[in-house]
Amino acid sequence: MTRRSMLLLVLGTVLCTAASSAELEDSVPQLAGALADLSADSSVVDLPEGLYTIESTWVISKPGVTIRGAGTGKTILMRDPKFNGVLVKIDAEGSTLSNLMLDGNGTATVLSLNGAGITADTLDIKNFTRIGIAVPASGCRITKCLVRGLGTADAPSMGIWHDAGKIPTKSTITIDHSTIQNNGMCGIYCTGGKVTIANNRITGNHIITNIGGGQLDIGNAFTTNTVAIIQDNTIADGGSLKAGGIEAGGGRFTVTDNTIRNHGSGGIGIGHNVIEVTITGNTISNCGQM
């Protein structure tokens, strides 16, 4: 048996017995150790099924690796109530995190993608009060993920947040085939650079009762440096009567073939700093009830 296999076997054994322990130990040292001992000819770390208790931020800094769980209902990383930080911070460029659940257990931010070209694939992100997935970096992709807030206005959360700043930028982000739901503020907030949002399901967001804002808030209203493509999404059932479907702030927008329904505010809102917009093929129903 290889050293890596032994490490993962030990991890699985520890985690399978941890759930019955009165005091769960921090799993981050073991997780970091499995990554550190990855052989030079391998780029994949498979995390066994089990509950991983997070008492400190797991910082992933080895580039080009894939960290893969056994499934979103099987490999679970959960915050210990004594810890109030980010569960996982990925600084490693070109890396992938996939097939697991990150349970924030009431923390502010769950996952932060800090390195360029990171992929978050088939993750279940839940139980956070501020941000499910924060994306400061460029070239990242969020695909086939479930990002769900607490479903209350008392936690004005954003499912996915990306801000490339106010100056002209070549930053990119892609969000596709994901479900973002039940966030107090918005499902997705993205501004700056090229933003692609396609084939997602966005429901029950913007629970706060403030007027203005949508389940998608794209482009800062005071800048023009966002170029966004929003297509083939279902954006439905705003979280409050004052929720809108899409709020386009400043920049250039292509909004095509979306289904937008059941919003007290408008289906698509156009900000004063939108300098070019194409809106075609959308189905908008039961919006503008206020």
Per-residue pLDDT tens digits for 181-224:
999 999 999 999 999 999 999 999 999 987 667 999 999 988 99
Give the Cα-Cα-Cα angle 217, 196, 94 (nearest 5 degrees). 115
Distances from the Cα of 134 to the Cα of 107, 129, 196, 274, 279, angstroms: 13, 13, 16, 25, 28
Our measurement of the distance from residue 66's CA atom to the centroid of its chain's CA atoms, rounded to an integer in Å, reads 17
In a domain, 34, yes or no: no
Does residue 70 form part of some domain? no
Domain enclosing residue 155, as ranges: 149-290
**Is 25 within a domain?**
no
Kindly state whether residue 247 falls inside one of the protein's structural domains: yes
Q: Is residue 94 part of a domain?
A: no
Q: How many CA atoms lie within 13 A of 10 on its CB side?
A: 13
Domain membership flag for residue 237: yes
**Residue 171 lies inside a defined structural domain of this protein:** yes
Structure tokens at 121: 């694939």
Sign, CA dihedral 163-164-168-169, equals negative
Q: What's the whole-model pTM score?
A: 0.92
Domain count, the chain: 1
CA distance 274 to 290: 24
Give pLDDT tens digits for 129-173: 999 999 999 999 999 999 999 999 999 999 999 999 888 889 999
Q: What is the pLDDT of residues 254-285, one digit of tens each?
A: 999 999 999 999 999 999 899 999 999 999 99
